Amino acid sequence: MNALASPDAALKDFCQTPYQMVCGEGSAVARERMEHIQQIADEIKKPALAAAYEYLYDGDEMPPDFDENILKNIMPKAKRQKATKLFLAELRVQLRRYLEANNVPTDMEVPAIKGSLIRAIQNSNEIDGQTRDAMITSVQETRVMTIADINSEVLENSGHSVIEVYKGCSKNMFLDNAFATEISHQKVVVICPGEIIGSIEFAKAENLSVQARLGVLIMTLGHEISHHFDYRTYPQAYQNLMANLGTSSNYMSEISADAWGLKTFMVATNAIANTTTRATLLRGGMNDLCGTADDGEHPDGRFRIEKLAPVYLCK
């Protein structure tokens, strides 16, 4: 099936006014959501910061303004690295507790999401069979990790440190973010803390069931996993998409990954009978694009929502 089955009014609204449907909740609502996520992040970070502070200052009471930015500037370097490792080790413990408290399955439903991406590839008849097989192999080989999973054993002999991987989550690891990389020549996707917290708290605010709670991550993971076989690897597979959108090749790495994220969503949610739930998951999966600017590699969020999403969701 090429589009969402029997869309209800919510999905029809998306097809008519996609940007308004995803981003139209108003700045006050968006700000309130971000403040709530930051509050959760602060609760998770506090014991981790305390562990680092205790090491640095021999048990003194931690002042309220001590944060990871101060931690980054500790000298000498060896002391800073030791304190940072203590911070990250305790942070992983706290993140695992947060996931357990929210009944999040340990596998983050990654196998099911990967299965949906594989089915989306199999259904993409515009791509030749050899390329489809290579893409499917890439999905199967890609390891998806949360920050809570990353430790020295995972990174052993990889040439990467835990600290380096955390840096991949941006200067503020509690921003919504996930990224694709390679560790010891293995394809990897890392889901950063902010992405997980943002997804879970959005789902809770929207009264989604526990079973649907990770649905917001479907597009994110479909997007990030496919970066291992996006336009940079198989430019010939995306020529029609580039021509139909009339866009520059500079954007095609991100646009091709967006396309797989949307296709994965389409397959993964097609069996959900409650189409209002599907519309909510769609909004949650795309709302981090609201207001994003064109940076020369990523098109602006309005383009990605208005021009690309309807190609796959509104046929």
Q: What is the pLDDT of residue 252?
A: 97
Contact assessment for residue 147 and residue 256, using Cβ atoms and an 8 Å cutoff: no
C-alpha distances in Å from residue 11, one per residue of 17, 98, 184, 272, 305: 10, 32, 42, 13, 14
pTM over 0.85: yes
Q: Are residues 39 and 141 in the same domain?
A: no
Q: Are residues 213 and 305 in the same domain?
A: yes
Q: Are residues 137 and 262 in the same domain?
A: yes
Tokens representing 32? 């309130």
Query: 48 lies in a domain?
Result: yes
Tokens representing 116? 């949906």
Q: Are residues 36 and 127 in the same domain?
A: no
Q: Are residues 246 and 131 in the same domain?
A: yes
Q: Are residues 41 and 18 in the same domain?
A: no
Query: 153 lies in a domain?
Result: no
Q: What is the pLDDT of residue 3?
A: 42
Tokens representing 193? 């803390």
Query: 231 lies in a domain?
Result: yes
Show Cβ contacts of residue 196 under 8 Å, excluding neighbours closer than 6 positions. Answer: 95, 99, 104, 146, 147, 217
Burial level of 47, CB count in 10 A (0-12/13-18/19+)? middle
Q: Are residues 95 and 111 in the same domain?
A: no
In sign, the C-alpha dihedral spanning 102, 106, 112, 115 is positive
Q: Are residues 129 and 61 in the same domain?
A: no
* Residue 44: CB atoms within 10 Å: 19
When pLDDT is cut at 50, 70 and 90, the band that residue 67 belongs to is confident
Give me the domain span that covers residue 50. Answer: 26-101
d(CA 53, CA 84): 10
pLDDT per residue over 266-276, tens digit each?
A: 999 888 878 78
Q: Are residues 86 and 209 in the same domain?
A: no
pLDDT per residue over 94-142, tens digit each?
A: 998 999 999 888 788 899 999 999 999 999 999 999 999 999 999 999 9
Query: 175 lies in a domain?
Result: no
Percentage of residues in the chain having pLDDT higher than 90: 46
Q: Are residues 140 and 244 in the same domain?
A: yes
In sign, the C-alpha dihedral spanning 293, 108, 163, 72 is positive
Residue 251 pLDDT exceeds 70? yes
pLDDT-wise least confident of 26-30, 108-112, 249-253: 26-30
Q: Are residues 220 and 262 in the same domain?
A: yes
Secondary structure in 3-state letters for the chain: CCCCCCCCHHHHHHHHCHHHHHHCCCHHHHHHHHHHHHHHHHHHHHHHHHHHHHHHHCCCCCCCCCCHHHHHCCCCHHHHHHHHHHHHHHHHHHHHHHHHHCCCCCCCCHHHHHHHHHHHHHCCCCCCHHHHHHHHHHHHHCEEEEHHHCCCCCCCCCCCCHHHHHHCCCCCCCCCCEEEEEECCEEEEEECHHHHHHHHHHHHHCCCCHHHHHHHHHHHHHHHHHHHHCCCCCHHHHHHHHHHHCCCHHHHHHHHHHHHHHHHHHHHHCCCCCHHHHHHHHHHHHHHHCCCCCCCCCCCHHHHHHHHHHHHHCC
b (16+ CB within 10 A) / e for 228-259: bbbbebbeebbeebbeebebeeebbbbbbbbb
pLDDT per residue over 146-174, tens digit each?
A: 877 776 566 655 667 667 777 778 666 67
d(CA 238, CA 144): 25
Q: Are residues 75 and 133 in the same domain?
A: no
Q: What is the pLDDT of residue 103?
A: 87
